[in-house]
Amino acid sequence: MLPKMINRAPAFKRLLVFLTGLAAFVFIAGALGQTTSLNRVLFVGNSYLYYNDSLHNHVKRLVAERYPDTESRRLAYKSSTIGGARLSHHNIDWLLKPGQIGVDRPFQAVIFQGGSFEPLTAGTRKIFVDTAVSYAEKVRAVGGRPFLYMTHAYVSPHRRAKPGMINRISDTYRYAGREAKAEVIPVGLAFERSYKERPDFSLHMEFDGTHPNLHGTFLGAYVTFFTLYGDTVSRLDYDYFGRVSAEEVAYLQRIAKETVADFRTRDM
């Protein structure tokens, strides 16, 4: 029996080395899962982004929670917004130049949000699509990836609120995304999904029916996070320092995940 045991020893050692290496790989992979290389993101839009402590701040906090080993100083999330602006009002060449707004390296992802009214007429739609195509090319020219942030529909008491408005918005952003070769962040569709499931759970400011309230901004942040990072994390606990309940956090995350998954499936 002894010779057989001796013959088997090298094989056993190789197996032990393999298993040790595998364990180390799993450990390293787990550690790497706590960091992200996507850390320079620019948001360009209007008040839809800057309401409620600014959407980019919420996305940054979600990223910091999900990837805690990423140094906070490396998370360069910037937002350039103009109240009531359409996309073409922004000086994208200036914004994309490294160092202009405190980020020394080119942005890796740039998120464009058009004016809420831009999908509503043929003239404004054309300007929006043409601008998206032009700006997306400029983003790619500096090594970044362009995204389009789909706006939500108006609700009462806004004077231009109409049933089915989201269809025109969705069609516009899908078309712009194809023309600009930019991925669409389907925030407007997430609003629509939530209102169909829970009509009384408001996502808009009640005084104007256009701007997002805190829940609306949170939903937009989740949709943006899941689109940017393609993450399948089961739950994120960030609640804006206790301002959003655990039940609301879970609900809004579910709506965001379902919307992103459905949108990607249908647009493949």
Residues in the chain predicted with pLDDT less than 70, given as ranges, are 1-33, 267-268
Residue 15's pLDDT is what?
A: 41
Rg (CA), the chain: 23
User: How far apart (Å, rounded) are the C-alpha atoms in residues 182 and 200?
Assistant: 33
User: How far apart (Å, rounded) are the C-alpha atoms in residues 196 and 199?
Assistant: 6
User: How far apart (Å, rounded) are the C-alpha atoms in residues 90 and 147?
Assistant: 15
∠230-235-236 over CA atoms, to 5°?
Answer: 85
Q: Strands across the sheet with 183-185, in order?
A: 76-81, 40-45, 109-112, 145-149, 183-185
Report the candidate in 207, 157, 151, 184 with the shortest Cα–Cα distance to residue 260. Answer: 184
Residue 266's pLDDT is what?
A: 82
User: How far apart (Å, rounded) are the C-alpha atoms in residues 42 and 60?
Assistant: 11
Residue 268's pLDDT is what?
A: 53
Residue 23's pLDDT is what?
A: 36
User: How far apart (Å, rounded) are the C-alpha atoms in residues 165 and 177?
Assistant: 19
Q: Does domain 38-266 have CATH number 3.40.50.1000?
A: no
CB 193 within 8 A of CB 259: yes
Containing 61, the helix (H) or strand (E) segment is helix 55-66
User: How far apart (Å, rounded) are the C-alpha atoms in residues 263 and 189?
Assistant: 9
Specify the residue for token string 């393999």.
18
Residue 5's pLDDT is what?
A: 36
Phi-psi sector, 143: left (phi>0), alpha (psi -120 to 50), beta = left
Q: Count of CB atoms within 10 A of residue 170's CB?
A: 20
User: How far apart (Å, rounded) are the C-alpha atoms in residues 257 and 219?
Assistant: 10
User: How far apart (Å, rounded) are the C-alpha atoms in residues 152 and 113?
Assistant: 11
pLDDT tens column, 216-238: 999 999 999 999 998 778 899 99
CB 229 within 8 A of CB 193: no
Residue 72's pLDDT is what?
A: 84
Give the Å distances, CA to CA, from 87 to 82, 169, 267. 9, 15, 24
CB 220 within 8 A of CB 186: no
- Domain boundaries along the sequence of the chain: 1-32, 38-266
